[in-house]
Amino acid sequence: MTVQLPLKPTCRPCSLLGLLALIVAGKCSYSPEPDQQLTLPPGWLSLGRVDPEEELSLTFALRQQNLEKLSELVQAVSDPSSPRYGKYLTLEDVAELVQPSSLTLHTVQKWLLAAGARNCHSVTTQDFLTCWMSVRQAELLLSGAEFHRYVGGPADTHVVRSPRPYQLPKALAPHVDFVGGLHRFPPTSSLRQRPEPQVAGNVGLHLGVTPSVIRERYNLTAQDVGSGTTNNSQACAQFLEQYFHDSDLAEFMRLFGGNFAHQASVARVVGQQGRGRAGIEASLDVEYLMSAGANISTWVYSSPGRHESQEPFLQWLLLLSNESALPPVHTVSYGDDEDSLSSAYIQRVNTEFMKAAARGLTLLFASGDSGAGCWSVSGRHQFRPSFPASSPYVTTVGGTSFQNPFRVTSEIVDYISGGGFSNVFPRPSYQEEAVTQFLRSSPHMPPSSYFNASGRAYPDVAALSDGYWVVSNRVPIPWVSGTSASTPVFGGLLSLINEHRILSGRPPLGFLNPRLYQQHGAGLFDVIRGCHESCLNEEVQGQGFCSGPGWDPVTGWGTPNFPALLKTLINP
């Protein structure tokens, strides 16, 4: 929605125009967003300062209300033992609960008007406000900010960011969580194309993971597809200049989709779908979501970050806060190091996931492709958790490989599978028993100084992440690997279970974790062999955590056994 800012500010001395005058005169006190930092990723270069008259788009995250009540409602609608289970909130219900106070809305809008902001757009929940202004106005508005143009990434993407922290006037700080479009660089895909394993002979072997291999391993029959008679749907999100092409999907289904019913095209694109070359990441997401969740209407959220000051992931969150009717399942292959994000940003994004959970959305995020991760803090190595994988309000998907890479066999850990313990979020109550059991019983624990044992532990589940075939730009590409592959597969299977639930008159699964942990991973193949990678030093020698019976921070509860998982999740 477009926000009409007041036509002119009041002329009282305490007005926001007066505040802006004090800012100009250098006589205003400021409050910084905590621990802001701009970390220049490898391969990115500064092209210098931006023309002061150039236009910027900035997003202001306005302070929300009633977050404790929201948390309680999420627990109630997601817990099968609760009388409110499955009675999800509408977007309008969420808006009424969390929308900023009238004081916050009035104060921020007048502040922006005084600064010359224009073309401001809000969302249904009124807790985000995106406005246009010149660089000169933005640097005046956000003391300390200094906008530079950067170029980098595989597609030589251009972005505008501030290498310096900004500060808000202290009168504004209680009303704004953070300002988006200043510090966060677009993450690059961690998908890998691995060398083809060598094996003698080929009798009874497969030559990489395809939909038929997925369906065989996870025990899906030709009848395990969408009915085409419900309003069930599923979605994936693509960022940066990552696009899918309908022609690639058609070729993929021609090659690999002959033995199951499927839809021929994406039902809806939300956002801007560019005309550039297809990206492997976007192609993979669409092709495997639509072949695992076969014959189910599929949406693609496309947030390419067309304007250099936009943050694509933030644009996706805004879309979720502005649509009343959404697919029940969303899969996202996106992640940042927790330590690269400000606490204000990470906590607010976590609240956005809470809003989605209250509405009955299942958000699945890839766990990452760096194992436990590694970084040095004050000269000591530690594991490096990833976000949003570490959010307690999403279901995080790790990765596995076949024990024999050319046979449909039991699965072992894929050494890249992201997992570990959050340094930001405490362990949620739903996983207390499982994580305590792992910490008590695992025979291969890293030194305790490497991780925060009391943090939210992830992943929650896993699926095959090694050796996929993908069609991109009309070319079949083998041996593509990463948790970006396992995530849409698991999401597609949950969409099939939602199909059964909807046909039986039941609500979609919603936020899955409380139920998943209550049922101790029932319906999943337990992965008990293998460890993932971590710091290459003498102390841990490249080894992070190891899988074992039950839940573990490498493959979660395990990988889907579809008939058993359907039986477990169909009721109530």
The set of catalytic residues is 281, 285, 484
Q: Report the candidate in 262, 279, 278, 247 with the shortest Cα–Cα distance to residue 212.
A: 262
Q: Which helix (H) or strand (E) holds 138?
A: helix 135-141
Could you tell me the two tokens for 333? 């292959």
User: Which residue shows structure tokens 């994000």?
Assistant: 341
Please indicate if the annotation marks 460 as binding a ligand.
no
Mutual orientation of helices 343-358 and 91-98 as an angle, nearest 10°? 140
Q: Which residues contact 284 (CB under 8 A, 6 or more apart)?
A: 191, 333, 468, 470, 472, 480, 484, 485, 488
Rounded to 10 degrees, the C-alpha dihedral 318/420/215/260 comes to: 10
Strands 475-481, 468-472: pairing kind: antiparallel
In one letter, which amino acid is 187? P
Please indicate if the annotation marks 349 as binding a ligand.
no
Which whole-number Å values give the CA distances from 99 to 63, 325, 344, 387, in the listed order? 8, 19, 18, 25
User: Which residue shows structure tokens 């991973």?
Assistant: 521
Q: What is the DSSP string of 228-276?
A: SSS--EEEEEEETT----HHHHHHHHHHH-TTS---SS-SEEEE---SS
Q: Which helix (H) or strand (E) holds 57?
A: strand 55-62
Q: What is the DSSP string of 140-162?
A: HHSBT---EEEEETTTTEEEEE-
Please indicate if the annotation marks 526 as binding a ligand.
yes
Q: Report the candidate in 276, 321, 324, 328 with the shortest Cα–Cα distance to residue 299.
A: 328
Please indicate if the annotation marks 552 as binding a ligand.
yes
Could you tell me the two tokens for 149? 């143009």
Beta pairing partners, 376: 381
Q: Are 417 and 465 in contact (CB under 8 A)?
A: yes
Which whole-number Å values give the CA distances from 75 to 80, 347, 383, 396, in the listed order? 10, 18, 30, 18
User: Which residue shows structure tokens 């200043």?
Assistant: 182
Residues making up the chain, counted from first to last: 572
Q: Which residues contact 505 (CB under 8 A, 6 or more apart)?
A: none
Annotated binding site: 526-527, 550, 552
Per the annotation, where are the binding residues for Ca(2+)? 526-527, 550, 552
